[in-house]
Each structure stands twice: as C-alpha cells, then as structure tokens.
Amino acid sequence: MDIFQQINIAEILRNIFVYDKTAPLIFTRFYFWAFFALVLFGFSLVYKRKNRSVRAGYLFIASLFFYYKSSGFFFFILLFSTLTDFFIGKGIYNSKNENVKKILVVLSVVVNLLVLAYFKYSYFFIDSLNVLFGVDLEVINHLAIWANETAGTHFNVNQILLPVGISFFTFQTISYSVDVYRGETKPVNNLIDFGFYVSFFPQLVAGPIVRASGFVKQIYEDYQVSKVEFGWAIFMILKGLIKKIFIGDYIAINFVDRVFSDPITYSGFENLMALFGYSLQVYVDFSGYTDIAIGVALLMGFRLPQNFNSPYKAKNVGDFWKRWHMSLSSWLKDYLYIPIGGNRSGSVFSYISLGVVLSIIVLLAGKIILVPIFAGVVIVLAILVRFSPGIKRSIDTNINLMLTMLLGGLWHGASWQFIIWGGLNGIGLVFYKFWRKISPWEAKNNWAINIWKITITFCFITFTRIFFRSESMEVVKGMMHQIGTDFNLVMIPEVLVAYKWVFLVMLFGFFIHWLCESWKEKIKNWFIGTPLWVKAVIAAVVVIFVYQSISSEMQPFIYFQF
C-alpha cells in the first residue's frame, strides 16, 4: 500500500511541477486558477515590503514557473532575452557616445529578431532555399545538440519547436531598448525588476504588448486596488471566460474547425457561415485572453493597457486597426511605420524593408524570375519619383503603409496566407485614404450610413480571415469554390436547423459585441456595485455554466501559435 501511495504522490507532484506538452498551463484550466490562488497567497505576504524588488522577484519566479509549464525549457530563451536587453539597456543609457548608443540599439534589434527568426522562420528559409537552388538542406536544432551534449538531455535535433509567446516578449524587449535609446524611459534599476517586467505571466504569452514606460513605474508603486477596480477585475475575468469557452471554443469545435478542415465537403452557405463564425471566434478567443489577463494583473495591483475596443464596430479599415490588437497596432506604428517615414516620406529603412518583403515573396514563390520583375517595377517607380515630387510623396507614404501591414502579416508567420492577409489589409487602408477624399458619405453620421459603413468594413475584414485561418492555399481555394458555386438556397433552412445551437451562440456573441456601449457600461457598473456575496454567487454560477458548456478538451488560445 505504501508503494502505491508513493507512486501516486510522485505522479501528483510530477503533474504539478513538470511540463506536459499535452496539458500546457492556460487560463481556462482549473490548474491555472489553483496556481493563481497560491500566487495571490504568496503575494499577500510580500506586497507590503518596502523593498519592491522582493515583490518583483517573487512574481518573476512565479512567472518563470508559469512559462515553464506553458512552454517547457523554452523559458531559457526568455531568460536569454531578459539578460541581453537588460545589459544593452544599461549600456545605452550610460554611454556618452551617440555612435555607441546606435550600435547597441541595433544590436538589441538584430539579436532579438535573429532569435525570433531562428525559431519561427527556420523551416520557411530552408524549404525555400531547397526549392530555389535544388539543394537538400535539413533543419538542425543546434540548441538541442548543445543541450544534449552538455546536460545529457534527449531533445530531437531534427525539429525546431516554436516557443509560446516568443513574438510578444521579443517585441516587448525590443521596444524597451529603443525607448531607452530615445530617452522615453530610464533603464530598470536591477535585473530582477527587469525580468519581472519582461515575464509578467498574465500577459506573457499573448499580450497585450506592454511598454516599459507604462509598466515599470508600477513596480515601485504601493499596492492599491480599490473596490471598484476589484469588481472590474472580477468582471473582466468572467467576461473573458464566457468569450473564450462558451462562445469561441463552442463554435470552433462544433462547426468552424470542421468546415475549415475539409471545406469542399460542405455547402457554400456552411462555408460562408464558418467564415463569419471564425471572425467571431478569433475575436472572442483573443480578446477573452486579454480580458482575463487584465483582470488577473489588476488583482495584483498592475494595470495593463486596453487591447480591444469593439473592433467590429469600426466604420473603415483604419478605424478597425485602431480597435483591434491595439498594443500591436501601436507598436507597429511607433517602431516601424513612423521610423520608415510614416505619412511624411520614404527613408533608407523603407527601401531596406521593401527589399526584405520582396525577397520573402521570391522565397515563398520559389521563382528566381520574380527578381528581375520586381527590379523593373522598382526602376519604374524610381523614374516616376524622380520627375514628380507629388507622386514621390504619395508612393512613399503608401509604400510605408503597405510595408507595415505586410510585415505585420509576416509577424504572424511566413506563408502566402499571411502575406496575402497583410497585403489585403494594407490595400484596404490605402483604398480608404483615397476614398474618404471623394466619398459623399464620409462627413455624414446618421444611423443608416453608420450601419452601412460598419457592415462593409466587417465583411471585408471577415473576407481577409479566410487567408488568416486557412492552413494552406488549397483550403482557401476550396472555401472560395464552395461559396461561389455551391450556394444552394434550398439547403439553408436545413443547415440552420442542423447547427441551431451553434448559430444561436454566434448570434449571442455578435449581439453582445454590437450592443450599445451605454448598455455595456450599465451592466459593468451594476456588477461592480453589487455586494461581495452577490459577486461570489454570480461568479460561481458563471463558472459552473461556462465549464458545463465544454464539449471537448481545453482548446489553446489562437494567438499562442504566434
């Protein structure tokens, strides 16, 4: 009996402390809430300490454990980024030589992007080189080789896995070095505080992307959460769980994923509904994560920035990108779009970025013939720019906009789908710039015109999602074919009945999203104003209801893959 007890205890401890790739630590698992309860208990013992680094150190250790349980030994990559940018930031701030400062900030950007490229784009580059030059190169995980030789591990040396959230914390550390260089923030006092800033677990793996200028100062402030903020934090957590599990996971498992896995076996109407369903799913999934992250962070006294603002209420594509994934949009604007010239002019960086994007397109296509074609286009543009300053500014600013969106697409992954998705959004932004100058409805603001603008924008954004969601261009072609040629109106009532619960949940999701903001505020304020015991009862009811709706294994958040 003692032996069996020992085995059970060992198994329990293993489940608690050892990473399991089949059950990563995510917000929707009960394990996370047990983990968070223990973190809060420990936090209650240290939050009043005068030495704020004790508090930061405690949360730094908790965050590293969270990342280990989410992504295994990839937390060493997180530590590498932390160490690199901490000392680079110090070097930038302490250096009196402007050239040295520039070298250090470039070093930070290059090192971070190389790490990101190694894990995220190795297969893309190797496959492209094999196609272009007819070679037979293979991906080799040099980090796995080093770990196996030095630590006696047994990692697969022929496979490179993507660390969860690497794109998010990479952008976060880059922005830190750049902000220190620009003088917009001072370097963090010590390595522990900086490590906490980089790894803070609520927003670590899927954002929002946090700027040092807005977060670091909170490390040194007294813990303070008002009753209103406490109520708001609980409200955000419950709202996030409803979005993710009840709406997003339900429609994904029971409809959207099925259609996207084999679109040719479904009717055009089912494909179209799956496309609109995915637009809802990706929103509630990602914004649901952000809602939970904001609520969890606030309970510990830290305020994260807003990341979504009812994006499907946008009246044009530009408005949409001011409302969707706001931390990434503002990051791309401040660290890419404006530095390459913004809406003012082009720059050397513009043309370097253009060269990078065109090179990636050549690699994706696997056709060298595109090189002289692209070179010819660039020469024609250069001639036009040379003889017409007006055309020059228009070309430069629109190239900057397109480059930003194309590179934003590549941030999500190196594939034709993401290139096209980013390109379509860039075209939408450029088109709107010209359209608003001639549109007879631009200055009008009555309800009918606003509904028309919102509908057109939402349909366009939904159309671009077909490229974002599809795993291959074959899936894209299959969906478009079915929607265009197999749209049997007679089958619509049958489909509506067959998937009635899915469509009712979708209807509920869109209704809540498009609900008037004043009504949303009333609901939120009512919840915040209720007594504590009422909040507890509501929370219990919501949790039971939400988790009863689960019909399959816990689904990872969509943006974990980026």
DSSP H or E segment with residue 25: none
Which residues, including other chains, have CB under 8 Å from residue 281's CB and lie 6 or more apart? 247, 248, 251, 252, 256, 558
- Do 249 and 555 touch, CB atoms closer than 8 A? yes
Mean pLDDT, residues 433-448: 81
Catalytic residue among 142, 412, 481, 513: 412
The answer on 208 and 89 residing in a single domain is yes
Helices (H), 301-367: 317-323, 326-332, 348-365
Q: Is 412 a catalytic residue?
A: yes
- Put simply, whether the predicted model's pTM sits higher than 0.85 gets the answer yes
Of 28-32, 364-368, 370-374, least confident by mean pLDDT is: 364-368
Write the pLDDT tens digit of every residue in 78-96: 888 999 999 999 999 988 8
Q: What is the rounded CA–CA span in Å between residue 372 and residue 378?
A: 10
Do 101 and 183 fall into the same domain? yes
Q: What is the pLDDT of residues 384-420, one digit of tens each?
A: 666 666 666 666 677 788 888 888 888 888 778 888 8
- Is residue 58 domain-shared with residue 155, that is, in the same domain? yes
Question: In which band, very low, low, confident or very high, does the pLDDT at 339 lie, cut at 50, 70 and 90?
Answer: confident
Distance CA 181, CA 187 (A): 10
Please check whether residues 159 and 278 belong to one and the same domain: no
Q: Is residue 464 part of a domain?
A: no
Evaluate whether residue 447 is within a structural domain.
no
Whether residue 461 is contained in a domain is answered as no
Residue 352 has pLDDT above 60, yes or no: yes
Is the model more confident about 263 or about 437? 263
Q: Are residues 255 and 331 in the same domain?
A: no
At residue 459 the predicted structure's pLDDT band, cuts being 50, 70 and 90, is very high
Winning range, highest mean pLDDT, from 162-176, 288-302, 360-374: 288-302
Whether 434 and 560 map to the same domain: the answer is: no
- The answer to whether residue 458 sits within a structural domain is no
Q: Is residue 466 part of a domain?
A: no
**Cβ proximity of 190 and 53 under 8 Å:** yes
Domain boundary among 223, 244, 260: 223
End-of-domain residue from the set 198, 223, 248: 223
Residue 72: DSSP 8-state: G
Written as one letter, the residue type at 343 is N
Say if residue 217 is in the same domain as residue 154.
yes
Same domain (yes/no): 285, 218 = no
Q: Does any domain span residue 215?
A: yes
Could you read off the pLDDT of 55-64 as tens digits, one per residue? 888 999 999 9
User: Are the C-beta atoms of 443 and 499 separated by less than 8 Å?
Assistant: no
427 falls within a domain: yes
- Are 92 and 174 found together in one domain? yes
The answer to whether residues 253 and 352 belong to one domain is no
Band (277; pLDDT cuts 50, 70, 90): very high
Q: Are residues 193 and 333 in the same domain?
A: no
> Do residues 376 and 290 share a domain?
no
**Can you give the pLDDT at residue 549?**
78
Phi, psi of 553 (to 5 degrees): -60, 155
Q: Is residue 443 part of a domain?
A: no
Range of the domain at 508: 225-308+471-562
Query: Cα separation of 225 and 300, whole Å?
Result: 8
User: What is the number of structural domains in the chain?
Assistant: 3
